[in-house]
Amino acid sequence: MKSLVLLLCLVQLWGCHSAPHGPELGFRKLNCDDPETEQVAQVALDYINDHLVMGYKHVLNQIDKAKWWFRRPMGEIYELEIDTLETTCHAREPTRAENCTVRQVAEHAVEGDCEVRLLKLDGQLRVVFIKCDSSPDSAEDVRKVCADCPLLVSINHAKVVHAVEEALAAFNSQSNGSYYLLEEISRAQLVPFPASTYVEFVVAASDCVAKEVTDPAKCKLLAEKQYAFCKATLFEKDGGEEVAVTCKVFQTQPVVPTPQPEDTVEALRTPGVGLSVPTTPTDQPATALEGKPMVVEPPPGPPLVHRKHHDLRHTFPGMHSLESASGEVFSPVKPHVEVKPGVLLPGSPVVHPCPGRIRHFKV
């Protein structure tokens, strides 16, 4: 009798340990440098950059974690944690992120950290959840590389605001076309020698003619937005100031409504052109660029007080539900090759467990 009771207890114990638990039935950890994992990460990066309207585009630096499981009743789920790095291309710029320059440590680099889930269904990958944040590198790390390099300062710093105002006034004073209004201060640094303030900012064309403006408050932004990305330095000189400004004007960009949780919007991939403008708008021929981002209206964000950069968490605070029909439908950038997760393609290099390789540098 005691033997029978013991046998029943062992059977029940085995059943408890062997029964599947939770939604991650049969989940599998992936190699972070597996070709399939990298392809999924690239779809996530495309989603991020296509939905940014402030700050700068990001590129993949490292895949920290990756796992995969079947989703009932159909489909597959990929869950990744990825590290990104800010580039020098503004979010409004048509250039694709992979063709942009990664901002280096000496320039005060910014790192992003994202959690993302993607649903693979009928050969397509759909972002169903994303949550990101980003932060500048520490002052100590910058100083290790360059003791005299300027650090980021708050974009609402009095000197920064003054430098942007002076630079925009100089830009508009020599414009033969539209009067431009300030859209965003993107980043700023106080340079000790020569004493100056360096700023990067975005402006948008209005319905006013620059040479005829008497009251800028009456000027309204054009329905189809035309943005320009500007870099300027305001030098402090004995008895006065001197400003140098260079702007790049982008082609007109139609505005797309901000995606809502119940919407499904296909990624836009239309050709774009840009125009590099030294100091003032000119009639230089446009230079063809490789792509054009989706443009959405900026979401309401926190006040700019003490903000040194545009944090990704204000764009992606955590959106969409895994079980909803929401999300963005994307096809992989590279031709899709069907690969079982964790299985190497013939001729592929040996991959390593997570975290994966660092593509640029560690922040």
Q: Is residue 279 part of a domain?
A: yes
**What is the mean pLDDT of the segment spanning 86-100?**
96
Q: Is residue 225 part of a domain?
A: yes
Indicate if 158 and 300 belong to the same structural domain.
Answer: yes
**What is the mean pLDDT of the segment spanning 198-227?**
94
Q: Is residue 106 part of a domain?
A: yes
Q: Is the pLDDT of residue 354 over 50?
A: yes
Indicate if 207 and 332 belong to the same structural domain.
Answer: no
Percent of the chain whose pLDDT exceeds 70? 69
Indicate if 319 and 231 belong to the same structural domain.
Answer: no
Indicate if 118 and 168 belong to the same structural domain.
Answer: no
pLDDT in tens, 8-21: 555 455 444 433 44
Indicate if 291 and 353 belong to the same structural domain.
Answer: no
56-70: strand order across its sheet: 28-29, 56-70, 76-90, 110-121, 124-136, 327-330, 264-266
Indicate if 138 and 160 belong to the same structural domain.
Answer: no
Give every CB contact of residue 77 below 8 A, 6+ residues apart in sequence: 68, 69, 70, 71, 117, 118, 119, 120, 322
Q: Is residue 206 part of a domain?
A: yes
pLDDT in tens, 255-301: 655 444 333 333 322 222 222 233 333 333 222 223 333 333 444 44
Cβ atoms of residues 264 and 327 within 8 Å: yes
Q: Is residue 253 part of a domain?
A: yes
**What is the mean pLDDT of the segment spanning 358-362?**
94
pLDDT of residue 286: 29
Name the one residue in this structure whose structure tokens are 């990298």. Answer: 38
The secondary element (H helix, E strand) that includes residue 205 is: strand 196-209
Indicate if 245 and 349 belong to the same structural domain.
Answer: no
| Structural domain boundaries, residue 92 | 24-147+309-363
CATH code of 284's domain: 3.10.450.10
Q: Is the pLDDT of residue 350 over 90?
A: no
Q: Is the pLDDT of residue 26 over 70?
A: no
Indicate if 195 and 242 belong to the same structural domain.
Answer: yes
Q: Is the pLDDT of residue 7 over 60?
A: no
CA angle 88, 91, 96 (to 5 degrees): 75
Q: Is residue 260 part of a domain?
A: yes
Choosing from 307, 329, 355, the residue where a domain stops is: 307
* Whole-angstrom distance, CA of residue 1 vs CA of residue 283: 97
Q: Is the pLDDT of residue 4 over 60?
A: no
Threshold 0.85, pTM exceeds: no
As for how many domains the chain has, the answer is 2
* Whole-angstrom distance, CA of residue 180 vs CA of residue 43: 35
Q: Is the pLDDT of residue 152 over 60?
A: yes
Lowest mean pLDDT among 29-43, 116-130, 140-154, 245-259: 245-259
Indicate if 336 and 244 belong to the same structural domain.
Answer: no
Q: Is residue 16 part of a domain?
A: no
Indicate if 45 and 169 belong to the same structural domain.
Answer: no
Lowest mean pLDDT among 63-67, 168-172, 229-233, 344-348: 344-348
